[in-house]
Structure 1
Amino acid sequence: ETPAQKAAKRKRLREQAKEDENLKKQLEVAVGRKVPVVNYEIVMIKNKHRYKIIRADDTHQLYTSFITFLKNFDREDLEDLWKIVEAIFSTSKPTNFSDDYLLVTLKTMFEKQIHKMLYEEVNRLNMDKLW
């Protein structure tokens, strides 16, 4: 390789490294921008109930079953949805099976978690007393 070829190769490698770094930064920003759930609706499409999950950026996703819904949600999404459902049904009762199912399932998931944390804390405190 001639010195000119080596210089051109170094320049290409530097440019590629800059492009890679820019792409990495863009991916980090995209991953860090999680759009929270702000509302939900139960909609009827072709005589079937669908869960319509609405996010803060006005996008939505339709789910045909609660299982597919759970598979596509992470813990933060479920916590956001639980807060919404809890707020809605703190003053009223569910009017259809889908709302009731959502309320009962999320309540079971999160209240069991709270009871588990309380149980562990009480046990930890009891162990501290023994020592």
Structure 2
Amino acid sequence: MCTYLKNMEGYKLNDLKLKDFDYIQEMFDRAFKRQKVEDDKETAEIKKLMEIIPDEEEVTIDAIPLVVKSLSIVDWKIHKEGRKSYYQIIRADGKSQMYMIFSHMLKSFDREDLETLYKLVKAKYKSTKPVEDLDLVLWNDLKTMFEPHEKDVVWRNQKDYKVLS
């Protein structure tokens, strides 16, 4: 009813106080008919835009994702350039990204990426131990994250810290 009162030619409640009921009813009916005609036109336009497809038919929808997740990690290597060493992370599409520091890798990875990398590193060093320094660092960092143990230095040091706030 509020919608129809708004459409009553801009009258305010004070303007309607002095009018008799029949006159107000007539104004309301005109506004109601006008609103109904506008609603019917809008409904007709929407029906033109819609196409009903029976359940038996297969429907293919081309959807464009709003956020594109980078492809899963499939491999990793230690890449060396002179004295510098980098973690080279290779994704399923063949693209790779290089990181010098593990913490930089953490900033651009989500949990799924870290779990995948951990599984790959764990599979590689299942029966052997890492020999290269960067391999050892990566293995230890991931192991500490996914297999916390009381005797690990990181967790042992946590007991010595006091939380201030």
What is the aligned counterpart of 1:104 among 137, 140, 144? 140
Task: Show CA shifts across 1:18-64 (max 9, x none).
Answer: xxxxxxx4233x52x54100110011123201000001111100111
Q: What 5-or-longer segments of structure 2 have no aligned partner?
A: 1-62, 150-165
TM-score (normalised: structure 1): 0.62
Pick the structure with more helix per residue: 1
- Provide the rounded CA distance (Å) in 2 between the counterparts of 1:109 and 1:42: 20
2:78 pairs with 1:45: no
- Paired residue secondary structure (1:112): coil
What is the aligned counterpart of 2:98 among 52, 56, 62? 62
In the TM superposition, 1:69-84 aligns within 5 A as: 69-84=105-120
- Provide the rounded CA distance (Å) in 2 between the counterparts of 1:93 and 1:110: 17
Task: Show CA shifts across 1:69-108 (max 9, x none).
Answer: 1111110000000000000000211011100011011011
Counting aligned pairs with the same residue, the percent is 41
- Provide the rounded CA distance (Å) in 2 between the counterparts of 1:44 and 1:34: 25
Larger radius of gyration: 2
Count the aligned residue pairs.
Answer: 89
In the TM superposition, 1:31-42 aligns within 5 A as: 31=68, 33-42=69-78
Matched letter for residue 41 of structure 1: K
2:132 pairs with 1:86: no
Cα RMSD for the two superposed structures: 2.2
- Provide the rounded CA distance (Å) in 1 between the counterparts of 2:111 and 2:75: 16
Query: What does residue 65 of structure 2 align with?
Result: 27
- Paired residue secondary structure (1:102): helix
Higher relative contact order (CA 8 A, sep 6+): 1
Matched letter for residue 78 of structure 2: I
Query: What does residue 18 of structure 1 align with?
Result: none
